[in-house]
């Protein structure tokens, strides 16, 4: 960071340039500054619906690496600050230009930390489950009149975006463990949904992941609350209230009971809390794993209301949960008929895959499940290919798509076929562009596409073919 400008307040910069503007977290920050009236521009490698939406809202977006692609108004370090994501290589030409030009440069996580100052922060961390849980908290804040803002890691269907602007000082955020970004936050109430061996290209070992989550817990403000999934073992700090939650484990402080599966995979249930029972809750999205996410979100709301001396309306909570529409690419239905089901889901870690596949099989018992999986990152595939295979083997048939590399270069010998060698269900490889035709030709019943890469680009085409069999 350049010393000349590092102490200058952000409000003094009329222009904000984003390196990696199309990322889900980065685009939320870009929207925030557009709402503030700043001029916003940025670079991303590929055009996506998110970048097109930002352009429609007034941002200038370039897809060219060259320095000449930076708009002239954003080349002055006195008037422009830069927000970047670690996904952009350090030797990227624009990154080099800004770094050598004396610009104030901050990571997305640093910026989020700044924007959270003075807020009542409700943060959700975990190697999976955090996007749905944090989005649910944001929705519950709005729908129960608690208000506040939110920066989300996915596109909320209720808000039709990844940023929420509202009255009040609550701030719901997804606390991302990638690159240790979540260590920039000081939450008032925090959820930890899971701690698994992920991002080992960053952390090196699972033990280092556990240590980082312990550091995150230690950042919770004194007198605050930690809501942590039953069974997750990390170093726990003193000076805060610690609550365990689960799907239905009665040893937990918060858990669901009287769980009843409804038509279409939806659930009705009660939530037991240390302060009473919330009854007759129905979640507006399907899947047992989302009941667990709901327990965590409701626990956050209960703890926040308790500490802030607010009354949480049970009636408003019931209505809000029924109207929760979820997050794009999380249990997202495209086709749902008695003859053909097609869903898309963001799951990209073995534990996520296992949870979602198990949920889908519970939703549609006695039906045949075809899992379509695009691995994300060579390093993740290298580290977890056996675990991926074990999770995928829970399906009746598996279609593997070539690895989505994201920020990585290929690793010799690491490919989707490596996963397939250990899958016990029938499997084959298919290129992304051929998925729609391939799935149409197969005897499909329930189909789910999985992955954090670009497989979602093909969802509409897949749905158009599968609906013909509905």
Six-digit token pair at 410?
């290929």
Q: What is the pLDDT of residues 257-308, one digit of tens each?
A: 999 988 777 899 999 999 999 999 999 998 888 999 999 999 999 999 999 9
- Which of 227, 223, 230, 198 has its CA nearest to residue 212? 198
Residue 459 has pLDDT above 60, yes or no: yes
Six-digit token pair at 364?
């549609």
90 SS3 class: coil
Q: What are the start-end ranges of the H helices in 276-323?
A: 288-308, 314-322
Q: How confident is the model at residue 454 (pLDDT cuts 50, 70, 90)?
A: confident
Six-digit token pair at 429?
């490889």
Mention every residue, 6+ apart, whose C-beta is less than 8 A from residue 137: 122, 124, 150, 172, 297, 300, 301
Evaluated on CA atoms 385, 388, 392, 397, the torsion sign reads negative
CA dist 358 and 402 (Å) reads: 24
Q: How confident is the model at residue 201 (pLDDT cuts 50, 70, 90)?
A: low
Residue 10 has pLDDT above 90, yes or no: no
According to DSSP, residue 349 is labeled S
Distances (CA, A) of 31 to 41, 58, 122, 152, 291: 11, 9, 20, 12, 31
* pLDDT of res. 110: 85
* pLDDT of res. 7: 40
From edge to edge, which strands make up the β-sheet containing 255-261? Answer: 255-261, 267-273, 276-282
CA dist 371 and 416 (Å) reads: 14
Distance of CA 411 to the CA centre of its chain: 26
Contact 268, 280 (CB under 8 A): yes
Q: Angle of helix 350-363 relative to helix 288-308, nearest 10 degrees?
A: 110
CA dist 438 and 426 (Å) reads: 15
Contact 182, 109 (CB under 8 A): yes
The DSSP H or E segment spanning 446 is: strand 446-450
pTM over 0.75: yes
CA dist 224 and 237 (Å) reads: 11
Residue 387 has pLDDT above 90, yes or no: yes
Six-digit token pair at 222?
């004194």
Q: How confident is the model at residue 197 (pLDDT cuts 50, 70, 90)?
A: low
401 SS3 class: coil
Query: In the chain, what is the straight-line distance between the N-terminal and C-terminal CA atoms, in Å?
Result: 57
Contact 284, 322 (CB under 8 A): yes
**What is the percent of the chain with per-residue pLDDT over 70, rounded to a whole number?**
96
Q: How confident is the model at residue 9 (pLDDT cuts 50, 70, 90)?
A: low
Average pLDDT over residues 23-49: 90
Residue 2 has pLDDT above 50, yes or no: no
* pLDDT of res. 103: 95
Q: How confident is the model at residue 415 (pLDDT cuts 50, 70, 90)?
A: very high
Evaluated on CA atoms 135, 137, 141, 147, the torsion sign reads negative
Place of tokens 């803002």: 149
Q: What is the pLDDT of residues 87-134, one digit of tens each?
A: 788 899 999 999 999 999 998 888 888 888 889 999 999 888 888 999
Q: How confident is the model at residue 244 (pLDDT cuts 50, 70, 90)?
A: very high
| Domains of the chain with bracketed CATH | 11-107 (3.40.50.720), 118-322 (3.40.1190.10), 332-469 (3.90.190.20)
Place of tokens 């809202």: 57
Q: How many CA atoms lie within 13 A of 227 on its CB side?
A: 33
CA dist 439 and 444 (Å) reads: 7
- Which of 144, 133, 166 has its CA nearest to residue 305? 144
Average pLDDT over residues 36-56: 91
Residue 5 has pLDDT above 60, yes or no: no
E-only strand ranges, 112-167: 120-125, 149-156, 161-164
* pLDDT of res. 4: 37
391 SS3 class: helix
User: Of residues 266 and 393, which shows the higher confidence score?
Assistant: 393
Q: What is the pLDDT of residues 416-432, one digit of tens each?
A: 999 999 999 999 999 99
Q: How confident is the model at residue 6 (pLDDT cuts 50, 70, 90)?
A: very low
CA dist 204 and 191 (Å) reads: 24
Contact 70, 94 (CB under 8 A): yes
Average pLDDT over residues 188-217: 83
Residue 3 has pLDDT above 60, yes or no: no
Q: What is the mean pLDDT of the chain?
A: 90
Q: What is the pLDDT of residues 301-352, one digit of tens each?
A: 999 999 999 999 999 999 999 999 988 888 888 998 889 999 999 888 898 8
Q: What is the pLDDT of residues 142-173, one digit of tens each?
A: 999 999 999 888 889 999 888 898 888 999 99
């Amino acid at each position: 960071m350049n010393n000349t400008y590092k102490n200058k307040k952000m409000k003094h910069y009329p222009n904000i340039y984003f390196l990696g503007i199309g990322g889900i977290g980065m685009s939320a920050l870009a929207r925030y500054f557009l709402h503030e009236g700043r001029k916003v521009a940025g670079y991303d490698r590929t055009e996506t619906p998110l970048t097109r939406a930002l352009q429609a809202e007034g941002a200038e977006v370039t897809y060219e690496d060259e320095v000449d692609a930076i708009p002239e108004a954003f080349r002055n370090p006195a008037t422009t600050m830069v927000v970047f994501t670690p996904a952009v290589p350090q030797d990227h030409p624009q990154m080099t230009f800004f770094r050598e030009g004396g610009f104030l440069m901050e990571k997305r996580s640093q910026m989020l930390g700044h924007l959270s100052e003075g807020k009542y922060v409700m943060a959700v961390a975990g190697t999976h489950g955090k996007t749905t849980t944090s989005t649910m908290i944001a929705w519950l804040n709005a729908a129960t009149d608690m208000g506040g803002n939110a920066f989300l890691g996915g596109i909320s269907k209720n808000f039709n975006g990844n940023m929420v602007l509202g009255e009040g000082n609550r701030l719901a955020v997804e606390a991302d463990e990638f690159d240790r970004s979540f260590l920039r936050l000081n939450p008032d109430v925090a959820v930890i949904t899971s701690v698994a061996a992920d991002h080992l290209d960053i952390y090196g070992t699972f033990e280092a992941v556990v240590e980082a989550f312990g550091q995150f817990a230690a950042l919770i403000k004194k007198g605050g609350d930690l809501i942590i999934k039953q069974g997750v073992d990390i170093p726990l700090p003193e000076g805060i209230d610690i609550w365990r939650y689960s799907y239905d484990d009665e040893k937990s402080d918060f858990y669901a009971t009287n769980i009843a599966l409804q038509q279409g995979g939806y659930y009705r249930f009660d939530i037991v809390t240390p302060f009473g029972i919330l009854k007759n809750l129905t979640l507006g999205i399907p899947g047992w794993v989302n009941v667990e996410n709901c327990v965590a979100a409701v626990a956050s709301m209960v703890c926040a209301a308790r500490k802030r001396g607010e009354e949480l309306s049970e009636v408003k909570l019931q209505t809000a949960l029924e109207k929760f529409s979820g997050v794009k690419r999380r249990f997202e239905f495209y086709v749902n008929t008695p003859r053909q089901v097609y869903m898309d889901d963001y799951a990209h870690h073995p534990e996520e895959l296992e949870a979602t596949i198990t949920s889908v099989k519970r939703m549609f018992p006695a039906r045949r499940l075809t899992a379509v999986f695009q691995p994300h990152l060579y390093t993740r595939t290298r580290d977890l290919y056996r675990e991926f295979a074990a999770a995928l083997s829970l399906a009746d048939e598996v279609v593997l798509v070539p690895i989505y590399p994201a920020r990585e270069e290929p690793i010799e010998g690491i490919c989707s076929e490596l996963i397939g060698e250990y899958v016990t269900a029938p499997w084959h490889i298919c290129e992304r562009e051929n998925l729609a035709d391939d799935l149409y030709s197969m005897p499909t019943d329930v189909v789910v596409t999985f992955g954090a890469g670009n497989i979602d680009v093909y969802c509409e085409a897949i749905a158009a073919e599968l609906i013909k069999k509905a």
